[in-house]
Structure formats: C-alpha cells, structure tokens
C-alpha cells in the first residue's frame, strides 16, 4: 500500500519505518526541514534500538521517503496517518494545534479520496474536529472530494517501540465505514498475522482506549509507590510484598516495581489531560488525581532520603548520579524523575556529577541546561569519583551488576541511594555499603 505519515516525531518515525519494512511505500512528512534533511542521511533525532538500521535499509530500497511537502505525499497515497505531537497545554489539556493544523493542510492539498487516520494521542471527540477542519478547507476550495476520518491509537513503549510496532499486542481501529475497516485490516494484516488482535470499535471508544490504558498503567505504578511508602513506615519490605502480590495471576508482575515516579511523554501528559477532560464533562476523576499527586510526591523521595542522611544543607557534598532518562533504552528526559531529584539536591547546595548512556546531551542542552551545579562524566565510575554517595535513578542494564570493589575505590563515602531497588540489601552489607532504597529497610553504618 501507499501511505503518508504526517509528523516525523517518535510515533510517526517508528510507525512509518515499520510500515515500509513490511513492504509498503511510505512518505513521511514534517515541517522541520533540518530534521528531514538529517533523516535523508539516516541521521535519527531520537535513540530507539533497531530504528536507525531500519530507516537506512528502507530508504536504500526505495520504500521510505522523507519530505517537507504534504502535497507530494498526499498525491501518492490513499491512507494518511496524523502522528504529530499533542504536547500538554498550560492548563494540562492536550494541545491539538498540530493535529488540527495537519487536518487543515490535508484539506488544502488533497486531490482525491483520502482515509485520514488519527495516530496521535487525542481526547475523545478529536476525530470529529479533524473532520470539520478538513471539510472546511475543502469547502473553501469548492471541492466535493470524499474522505474518512478514523482513530488508530498507538501503544508504543520507548525503548521497545520497533518491536511493539512490528508485533503489537493489539491494533485498535475506531471507524464506522466498513470499506475503511477492510482497508486497514489489509494494511495491518502482516502485523497481527495468526492472531485475533485486530479490534474494531466506535471512534470515541478507540480514542478513549489509549487514555484508559495509560491511566491503568500509571495507576499501578503510583499504587505500588504508595504501598512502598507505607511499607517503609510500618517496617515491611516492599520487595517481598511485590513478590507476594505479583504471584497472583490477577495482578501479575508488570508495572508493580517501586521507584521514584513515572515520567516520559505519555503517562504524565495523558493523566492530566484525562483529568481535565473529565472535569469538562462534570466528573471529578478522584482516583486519577490521586495517581498524579502520588507520582508528583514520589519524585522527591530520594532527595528527602539524602537530606535525612546528610542534613538539609548539602553544600560541599558531591553526589554521583547514575541515569537521567525517564526509563532505560531511551534518551527521553521529558518529566523524568532525575530532573526533580537533581534540582532538589542542587537547590540545597549539592554538586552533581551525572552519567547516562544516552541522555546526557538532552540534559546538557535542555532539561538541566541552567543548573550550574551539574557536571557530566564519560562513564559510571567516573561519575562517582570522590563522591559522598551514589544515587541510582534509571535502571539501565549496565548499572545492574557493577563492580562494587571498583566503586569502593572511587567513592569518598560508601553510600548508595537506590531509586529503583536494583540491589539486594544483604549484598550491600557484604560489600560494606550504607544502602537506602524505596519502601524497604536500609543498611546503615
């Protein structure tokens, strides 16, 4: 099939590339000329395992085209995915200016029937607004071209997005036109071959499904962090509690790890947007508000532990930080716990030396750019040289089994604050470390 993808951000780039890898001809469109020029040279603006090689391969084989011209893409295609960003507005709502702007461009430039597919995460009712914008532009042109608007929310996880796209848990389609449903069924058939994971529903339900999925996962994380905070106060061990509840097949082990709060481009934004949308329809969404509040508080827990150990004034103290991205296998620092933790510590006078395998450029150029008390190291052991403590924030694989003897030789004081409960307290005791974790007993010296 011939497909256009408008928006070459995280979702659009992965989706378009995966469509091409399945043999489709894909035109990816973006208004950012520098980004398009870089992509034509196989320079990827994000870190995502496998993606760079896939982009290069499909460009070389002529199935993947990058362009700034939406007209060029639409002239070739009958299916157009809108995959632009929906950043959080000042009031917490999803900012739809880019989605609606893309709809207007489609209406201005389309020259034949187009099936427009909303791939971006959008509130219920957005498909209708997209339809209105396209029709308005067609009316201005005095054109009577037909088009359909459907919903196909994405469920990609950063760090495993290529695998999620190529072998999805499910494909959700919100549509009311049988011909469109059959066309999308054909498009997605190679991705769900041998399964029954092609789910068709009304448009509003499809739009809501993405928000509901993210709200459920965020709720599990905040619930587990709430339990961890209770465990710490009553003398229980959240690591053992996790095993006790996870063995119940109704609960399972996924998303029940305690930590220092969720971040990223989806959960924080989508929870706040859903709260706001609920309020606009007269519902208070008390549970979602609690999920959001617990998460906001959880991002301060590690800094609170550091201050409880060293005092409120951290002047003259140096801390090595392992991990900056909001999760492993990505360079994304949007809403990352590291930002809150580092700013809390430096506000109290601390000096931070940070290391992350992929996210240090993001930190330097954007999220921690103005923080003069942050330096960066070339490796994890360099970050803890002469450190008063090591703080683990992101659970990258290379942090799971470090050389603790090497750490001892580098650090001024043998103290670890573990924001992801990666290490075993007995092991820390064996190596002579003072050890603090989330929701469980500490090893003190």
Which residues carry out catalysis? 266
Give me 196's structure tokens: 């029954």
Torsion-angle region of 145 (φ positive above 0: left; ψ -120 to 50: alpha; else: beta)? beta
Angle of CA points 157, 178, 81, to nearest 5°: 35
Residue with tokens 């962090």, as numbered in its chain: 225
Helices (H), 256-331: 267-280, 286-298, 301-310
Query: What angle do the packed helices 267-280 and 286-298 form, to 10 degrees?
Result: 150
- Per the document, the length of the chain is 445
Judge whether 4 and 43 are in contact, CB under 8 Å: no
Judge whether 122 and 94 are in contact, CB under 8 Å: yes
Q: Which helix (H) or strand (E) holds 9?
A: none
Q: Which helix (H) or strand (E) holds 14?
A: helix 10-21
Judge whether 242 and 420 are in contact, CB under 8 Å: no
Query: What angle do the packed helices 203-234 and 267-280 form, to 10 degrees?
Result: 110
- Compute the distance between CA of residue 187 and CA of residue 182 in angstroms, rounded to an integer: 9
E-strand stretches of 175-216? 198-201
1-34 burial, b for 16+ CB within 10 Å, e for fewer?
eebbbbbbbbbbbbbbbbbbbbebbbbbbbbeee
Residue with tokens 């970050």, as numbered in its chain: 383
């Amino acid at each position: 099939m011939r497909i256009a993808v408008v928006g070459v951000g995280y979702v659009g780039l992965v989706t378009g590339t995966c469509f091409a890898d399945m043999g489709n001809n894909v035109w990816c469109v973006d208004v950012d000329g520098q980004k398009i020029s870089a992509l034509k040279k196989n320079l990827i603006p994000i870190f995502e395992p496998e993606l760079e090689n896939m982009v290069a391969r499909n460009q070389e084989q002529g199935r993947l085209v990058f362009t700034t011209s939406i007209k060029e893409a639409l002239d070739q295609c009958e299916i157009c995915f809108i995959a632009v960003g929906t950043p959080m507005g000042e009031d917490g709502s999803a900012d739809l200016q880019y989605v609606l702007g893309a709809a207007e461009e489609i209406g201005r430039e389309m020259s034949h029937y187009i099936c427009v597919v909303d791939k971006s995460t959008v509130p219920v009712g957005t498909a209708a607004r997209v339809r209105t914008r396209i029709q308005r532009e067609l009316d201005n042109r005095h054109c009577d071209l037909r088009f359909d608007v459907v919903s196909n929310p994405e469920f990609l996880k950063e760090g495993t997005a290529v695998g999620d796209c190529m072998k999805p848990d499910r494909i959700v389609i919100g549509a009311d036109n049988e011909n469109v449903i059959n066309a999308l069924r054909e498009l997605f058939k190679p991705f769900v071959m041998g399964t029954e994971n092609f789910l068709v529903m009304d448009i509003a339900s499809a739009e809501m499904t993405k928000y509901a999925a993210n709200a459920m996962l965020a709720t599990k994380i905040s619930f587990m962090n709430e339990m961890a905070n209770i465990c710490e106060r009553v003398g229980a061990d959240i690591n053992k509690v996790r095993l006790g509840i996870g063995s119940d097949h109704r609960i399972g082990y996924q998303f029940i790890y305690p930590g220092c709060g969720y971040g990223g481009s989806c959960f924080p934004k989508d929870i706040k947007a859903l709260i706001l949308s609920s309020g606009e329809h007269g519902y208070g969404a008390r549970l979602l508000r609690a999920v959001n509040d617990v998460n906001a508080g959880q991002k301060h827990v590690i800094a609170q532990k550091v201050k409880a150990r060293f005092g409120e004034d951290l002047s003259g103290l140096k801390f090595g930080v392992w991990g900056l991205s909001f999760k492993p296998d990505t360079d994304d620092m949007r809403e990352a716990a590291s930002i809150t933790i580092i700013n809390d510590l430096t506000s109290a006078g601390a000096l931070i030396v940070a290391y992350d395998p992929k996210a240090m450029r993001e930190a330097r150029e954007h999220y921690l750019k103005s923080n003069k008390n942050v330096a960066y190291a070339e490796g994890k052991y360099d970050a803890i040289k002469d450190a008063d403590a090591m703080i683990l924030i992101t659970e990258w694989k290379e942090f799971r089994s470090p050389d603790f003897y090497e750490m001892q030789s580098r650090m001024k004081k043998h103290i670890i604050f573990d924001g992801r409960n990666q290490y075993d307290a007995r092991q820390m005791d064996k190596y002579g470390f003072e050890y603090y974790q989330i929701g469980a007993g500490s090893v003190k010296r």
